[in-house]
């Protein structure tokens, strides 16, 4: 009985990895079953050698059958597949494959805006910290500023 359970858990792992590799060729029932842990345990796909099993059995077998990560890995894959479904419906409303049409220039501009926001937030945080650093913390704070401002390419502006 243990071998049947183990093969069922490994088949589910393989199925979820395959779904993530080729999401467009996925049966909607598989994605729907990934909505809950119990749904994944109850999944029946005879062609894939996946038969229903109890949730407790699936969790305990996954703990020893899946070498890298055990049950948390299987559950993480399940949640990723379920999230992919939610994103897929949003993508269809926005227009088919709209993300794929975005140009490299738009993606780079978005990344630059993110870096600028992060740099601004860091600079403001340093300014606030500078006001509240006591005498005993001045030296480590100055060392931190010298190191990271240089590495982040930030110019030092004294007010």
146 is in which domain, residue-wise? 104-152
Is the pTM higher than 0.85? The answer reads no
Instruction: Say yes or no: 77 and 136 in one domain.
Output: no
Beta-carbon contacts of residue 20 (< 8 Å; ≥ 6 apart): 77, 80, 81, 84
Mean pLDDT of the chain: 77
Instruction: Say yes or no: 45 and 123 in one domain.
Output: no
Instruction: Say yes or no: 47 and 115 in one domain.
Output: no
pLDDT tens-place string over residues 56-113:
988 888 887 877 778 888 888 888 888 876 565 444 444 545 555 667 778 888 888 8
Look at residue 59 and tell me if it is in a domain. yes
Instruction: Say yes or no: 116 and 80 in one domain.
Output: no
Domain count, the chain: 2
Q: Which ranges of 22-97 would DSSP assign to H, the alpha helix? A: 28-33, 37-42, 55-65, 70-94
Instruction: Say yes or no: 89 and 108 in one domain.
Output: no
Question: What is the mean pLDDT of the segment spanning 114-143?
Answer: 82
């Amino acid at each position: 009985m243990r071998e049947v359970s183990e093969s069922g858990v490994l088949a589910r792992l393989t199925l979820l990895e395959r779904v993530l590799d080729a999401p467009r060729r996925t049966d909607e029932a598989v994605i729907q079953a990934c909505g809950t842990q119990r749904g994944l345990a109850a999944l029946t796909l005879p062609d894939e050698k996946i038969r229903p099993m109890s949730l407790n059995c699936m969790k305990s077998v996954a703990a020893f059958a899946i070498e890298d990560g055990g049950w948390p890995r299987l559950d993480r894959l399940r949640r990723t597949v379920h999230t992919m479904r939610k994103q897929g419906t949003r993508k269809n409303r926005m227009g088919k494959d709209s993300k794929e049409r975005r140009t490299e220039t738009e993606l780079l501009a978005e990344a630059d805006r993110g870096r600028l926001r992060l740099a601004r937030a860091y600079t403001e945080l340093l300014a606030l910290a500078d006001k509240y650093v006591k005498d005993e913390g001045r030296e480590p704070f100055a060392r931190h500023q010298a190191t990271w401002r240089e590495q982040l390419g930030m110019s030092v502006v004294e007010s």
